[in-house]
Amino acid sequence: MKYLIVGSGGREHALAWRLSTDGSSDEVYVTPGNGGIKEKLRVGISADDFEGIAGFVKEKNIDMVIVGPEAPLSAGIADYLEERNIQVFGPSKKAARLESSKLFAKQIMNKYNIPTCNHKEFANKEELLKYIDTVDNYPIVIKLDGLAAGKGVGIPEHRDEALKFISKMVKENDKVFVEDHLVGEEASILGICDGNNVKMLVPSQDHKRIFDGDKGPNTGGMGAYAPAPVMTDERLDFVYKKIMKPAVDGMKKEGIPFKGVLYAGLMITDDGISVLEFNVRFGDPEIQAVLPLLEGRLGDIIEAAVKGSLDKIDIFFKNKHSITVVMSSGGYPGGYEKGKEIRGLDDLSDDIIVFHAGTKKENGRCYTNGGRVLNVTCTGDTLKDARDRLYSEINKIHFDGAFFRKDIAYRAL
């Protein structure tokens, strides 16, 4: 099988690494890719150039396209490729609304009794501002309906913060809603779906805030580990029966079968489990921690999902633990500089895998090219082993302004 992966982050590098090292394929292209992808496998077509992607697939006889990020899925890349008889792993534009419209996701959850917290909808900014005048209990959660590159959720602690978030993020006619603020521990469940069946991958936990102790602004994710012990067998059973399967069955009933990755962002509270959000792709950096634990061939799982035969396969994971720590550019998630030379990657011990994200290669040297730069990953017999090994090696990697959290997996340890 020949694959083309669409995207440029650590998730896409991890998918390419897995497919090319587990016997799934010896030809895995990535577009547009990053500095971690071998030059001859890196394709310079951007993720929104569907025509260019389809042309490349035909030219190279690619068997399967895997779409990493949500933006091309929400813009209909899976529909576009399928209409041209190209096999693609990822949901249709309509199914991707589970992520591209948070209100649509809420409707599906409410209709199919999937546990999620109460929400109140507003048709525009003015209505929301009127409501804010009546709120006396903070924090509240304000969410924009549409995609906002991870910046569409505000959790103001008081009125001034709410007004600041609204003035910065909400446009006059944006649909927006307010949710209860839940307190508990988060977990990410990635489910592979074929329209009828869903197979859950090992549960993981992301760390979204920039600073240790889950302080500071939200980021795309500063590190993850798997399995996440907060997801006990009993809770996983609940998630399958009350969240993942009802979501896939519900979408089928709506006439919008869901194929691809259904990612449930969960909050585990004293009162039970609640869905914070659905995403329609692999979590990044969650999948970087999950893939090293997978047994067998990722390509077989993806093929079964695309062909609608997931019920015929089982997915197994190693009885080990994995952790990934994101190294970011200084200043991220605010402003940061690019083009800093990255040194030390060749000095790492063999048990460390580095998935590149915001990097580029020039004349054999590697430079920073984004906010999240590298995903340093390690697997061990225990989570503590994996974490200790990782943190004993990560300091060998250097670039000006490099920043990483020192406490990934702290909740589990």
Which residues form the interface with ligand GLY (CB under 6 A)? 206, 221, 279, 283-284, 286
- 341 Cβ contact partners less than 8 Å away, ≥ 6 residues apart: 365, 366, 367, 399
- Angle, to 10 degrees, between the axis of helix 102-111 and the axis of helix 245-253? 100
Which is nearer to ligand GLY, 12 or 206 (by Cβ)? Answer: 206
Taking the least distance from each CB to ligand GLY, the nearer of 79 and 286 is 286
Min dist CB 382 to ligand GLY, Å, is 24
HSE-CB at 60 with a 13 A cutoff on CA atoms is 22
Q: 354 by DSSP, 3-state: which?
A: strand
Contact present, 211 and 291 (Cβ < 8 Å) = no
**Measured distance CA(5)–CA(337) in Å, rounded:** 27
Helices (H), 195-332: 233-239, 245-253, 286-290, 298-307
> Least distance from C-beta 88 to ligand GLY, angstroms?
20
* Three-state SS at 387: helix
Sign of the dihedral defined by the CA atoms of residues 149, 405, 281, 12, in that order: positive
User: Strand 259-269 relative to strand 88-89: parallel, antiparallel, unpaired?
Assistant: unpaired
Smallest gap from Cβ 393 to ligand GLY, in A, equals: 23
Q: Which residue is nearest to ligand GLY (CB)?
A: 221
**Least gap, CB of 286 to ligand GLY (angstroms):** 6
> 239 or 366: whose CB is closer to ligand GLY?
239
What minimum distance in Å lies between the beta carbon of 222 and ligand GLY?
A: 9
Q: 142 vs 264, which CB is nearer to ligand GLY? A: 264
Shortest separation between residue 9's beta carbon and ligand GLY, angstroms: 9
Which CB sits closer to ligand GLY, 286 or 303?
286
Q: Which two tokens stand for residue 90?
A: 């990822």
* Count of CB atoms situated within 10 Å of the CB of 62: 21
The DSSP H or E segment spanning 29 is: strand 27-32
CB of 35 to ligand GLY, least distance (A): 21
**Phi–psi pair at 281, nearest 5 degrees:** -160, 170
